[in-house]
Every structure is written in structure tokens, then in C-alpha cells.
Chain A
Amino acid sequence: GAVVSQHPSRVICKSGTSVKIECRSLDFQATTMFWYRQFPKKSLMLMATSNEGSKATYEQGVEKDKFLINHASLTLSTLTVTSAHPEDSSFYICSARDRAGGSYNEQFFGPGTRLTVL
């Protein structure tokens, strides 16, 4: 149980285009999903918290218009990187918290999406 998927796993795009990344909880409902960014050999940096049916909460320094987050259902959140530039190249990871809580209220992570902007 507690499986989170992400799609695509890898994407290469040209500078100026937009890229959408999907995060799905496959066997549980997630009222809250989190989006992280990870640079090589660095830790995960929280970008935003996505709540089903409401606006996402962005961390300081993260541009809302640049990283659009939509959490339309209890099993799906999407992150759209708009007008991508090479500096947006990174590993994007989502996580989801089970609506039912779970033993430790822990987050379950997706496998990540490697974005490369040329």
C-alpha cells in the first residue's frame, strides 16, 4: 500500500516551453501533497504544499506564477513549470500524506521527475 506515482519520470524540453508533472496517490486518498525540488547531491527543498480543492501554499522564494500547482482531486496533484529555463533543470519529487493518517502521519514519496531544460 501507500504508493505514489509520478509522470513523466524524465522530460527534456526546450527553453520557454511549459512542462506538466503529475503526482498520483494510487491506493489512498491524499488531502495534502507536497512538492520538493532536489539539486544534485543536495537535500530536498520544499517548494509548496498542495491541498485538495484549495490554493497551494508556496514556500518563501518560490514563484507562484512560475510553478503552478493544481490539486483537483484527492489522488492527483500537478506541477506545471511555466516558461522553463535551464536553471529550472532539477529533480522534482512529490509526496502525499494519507488522508487516513497512517501510523506516523508520514509522507509517501513519488519516484521523482528529472527535468532537463535545454
Chain B
Amino acid sequence: GQNIDQPTEMTATEGAIVQINCTYQTSGFNGLFWYQQHAGEAPTFLSYNVLDGLEEKGRFSSFLSRSKGYSYLLLKELQMKDSASYLCAVRDWMTNQAGTALIFGKGTTLSVSS
């Protein structure tokens, strides 16, 4: 089966940097996604990693280590609007019935204060 773990909650202040970790166990890893979700809204795509290393995208960066089953999302220059839930999701060819859907972690609720 698959297992995806991330912290439940994190807090930070405006302007700071925060790192949200995600560890996973899957049979047929085929990519890791990070999504942002505000309460009552749909998730929005942030980043994608399939090879080891860091992907940078403006204030957001995502890192992947396939050998360690580990990823993190790094948010820089935090703003109040970054308060949201951050979902780590893995695409697994072998575990999921269809082989193409995403398996989500429980999400990390980030609260940014002034």
C-alpha cells in the first residue's frame, strides 16, 4: 500500500521562510505534487517533482529525494495569503486502481501571522 505523511499544522510569521516536509511510501512512484488549498476551495497546483533535486518557482520551491521517499515544500517571504492547507500528493502506477490518480497526504495547515 501507500503511506504519505506530513505535519498536521505549522505556524509562521510574515516574511519568514517555512519548510513543509512530506514522506511517502509507494510501490510505483511516478511523481510528487504539491497543492495549495484554501478552506472550502479546490486545490491549486504548486509544483511537481519526478527527479531528485530542487524545483524553484518564485517564492515556492520543492525538493525531492526518491531514495529517501522524502519531499519538502519551501515557502519564502511568507505573506498572510499563504495561510492555507498544503497537500502533498504522489502518483503511483502500481497501487492505485487506475494507476494514474493522485494519492494525497492529509495536508498541512499553515497559519501565517503578522
Contact = CB atoms under 8 A, between A and B. Distances in A.
Q: Do A and B come from one complex?
A: yes
Interface of A: 4, 32, 34, 36, 41-46, 49, 51, 57-60, 91, 93, 95, 97, 103-112, 114
B49 to A, nearest CB: 9
Contacts of A93: 42-43
Most buried by B among A43, A51, A57: A43
B54 to A, nearest CB: 16
Given A49-B97, A57-B97, A59-B97, A106 B107 contact: no
Given A57-B97, A104-B48, A106-B48, A43 B42 contact: no
5 contacts: A43-B105, A44-B104, A60-B97, A93-B42, A109-B42
Interface in B75-114: 87, 96-98, 100-107, 109
